[in-house]
Structure 1
């Protein structure tokens, strides 16, 4: 669940470890995560349906505390996870990947992955900014630099050159 949330929603580690069960709510059939971010700002991020389904199963059956705590991601006994615990979870998941396919993965790297995938799929930059909880659009510049071939695609789809009859 931890790796799934990091890779699809892109929270900061501090936001993930502070999450409580009640921070995940449903409105009009859509599951949201109310994320308490930097600077006391909150944002409500809709979860993809597949992620919401896995989250529900995790909350009902998968939490180490057996449901005796408000904390969403916790260690045995219901204790809140620390930053190092999150990296340990990633390391355990990564140990299942064949050695020749492993890369260095960190929680913040998964946040970058979220941003890069959203931008590569042409999601509006302001929407990506809000999902990640950035205060300024300029912060997304570093993620955009990771999109190989982006300029080539943009020029191939230039509006003045589309639907031109072949000469």
Structure 2
């Protein structure tokens, strides 16, 4: 323990655990921060270093590692439970935006550990271009499905089942439609979907609202469009319930195969990813000339969070005002929400298109 330490910790891991405990009220944030801290700790262990020994040049090496974790077989693999022997800390090398986000999180961790007296220096402060490299708030959102691709996906999700479909297949079909419709219409985070309850939907003064507790344990009410109420009614009737929920119903919205139990974040994540993968294969098989291949690759790359980005981007494109978009997204800063505004870029492209080399 460093002499100046103001926390009770015997190791870097214990010190980081105390930092993570500050986010106990926001489990999603805590999980995201734990993932980035774990990647750093595993890299430090492989390099024979401790947190206190991380300097500016090694931080640069770590950033390069995030872009290309090598050896690949040691660091990169498909999603698996943390205890699985083939678990890996990366699903793929991190994009530039993901690397910036990782460094932002770790910069905050080092600042906290410095204030706690566990570390005597913060290597992030030595980055000359720190503001450009770490401020990712202005980067526009790119990981979303453009409207034609979303419309194809929704039509694919709604394709009729064969008359011979089993009751289990019909249940899974209804559940998948509910999950993707919910994600698109209300822009929830995946943890908010997994913890949603029937009673979170309520009818007040002639309108439906969704009560959600998100980051920072803040509870908000979000307007619910008619399409979501229709989906909810179909789902509930398939469960043998009345179409409209009661405000005091604590049962899970999204349920396991038994029709009663809730499903966890990880199971929901895998379900959505598997659906994207299945849809990608279906889209690619629709055209033999390869014209849909870029779109199918986009679906194959998509993650559950893309659905939230898609929802907010399409609302912005439909003309929803920034102040209301921020309320739906539950962002504390308008510049965070502004990353979903692509209309100005489209108009810019249209106007520049008139600038030609000559009359044609």
TM over 0.5, shorter chain: yes
Selected match of 1:73 from 254, 265, 274: 254
* TM-score, scaled to structure 1: 0.77
Q: Which residue number in structure 1 is paired with residue 113 of structure 2? A: none
The alignment status of 1:144 with 2:325, answered yes or no, reads no
1:83 alignment partner in structure 2: 265
Distance 1:38 1:85, change over 3 A: same
Q: Could you say which residue in structure 2 is the equivalent of 1:15?
A: 192
Corresponding residue for residue 131 of structure 1: 328
Q: Which residue of 1 aligns with 2:210?
A: 33
Cα 1:85–1:137, aligned 2, differ >3 Å: closer, same or farther?
same
Unaligned runs of 5+ in 1: 155-167
Aligned-pair CA distance for 1:153: 7.4
Deviations 1:80-111 (A, max 9, x none): 22222223332444314423442122221111
| Cα shift at 1:146 | 8.0
In structure 2, the gaps of 5 or more residues are 1-177, 241-248, 285-292, 352-360
Q: Determine which structure has more spread, i.e. the larger CA radius of gyration.
A: 2
How large is the RMSD of aligned CA atoms in angstroms? 2.6
| Residue number in structure 1 paired with 2:183 | 6
User: 1:146 and 1:123, CA in 2 relative to 1: closer, same or farther beyond 3 A?
Assistant: closer
More strand by proportion, 1 or 2?
Answer: 1
Q: Counterpart in 2 of 1:45?
A: 222
Secondary structure class of the residue paired with 1:115: helix
Is the CA contact (8 Å cut-off) linking 1:116 and 1:147 kept in structure 2?
no
Higher RCO, 1 or 2 (CA under 8 Å, sep at least 6)?
A: 1
Aligned residues of 1:19 and 1:72 also touching (Cα < 8 A): yes
Q: Contact conserved, 1:116 with 1:146, CA < 8 A, in 2?
A: no
Alignment partner for residue 98 of structure 1, among 276, 283, 299?
Answer: 283
TM-score, normalising length: structure 2: 0.38
CA separation of 1:69 and 1:123: change in aligned 2, threshold 3 A = closer
Q: Deviations over 1:43-62 (max 9, x none)?
A: 11121112211111212324
Deviation at 1:24, TM superposition (A): 0.8
Indicate the residue corresponding to 2:312 in structure 1. Answer: 115
Asked whether the equivalents of residues 90 and 105 of structure 1 are also in contact (C-alpha less than 8 Å), the reply is: no
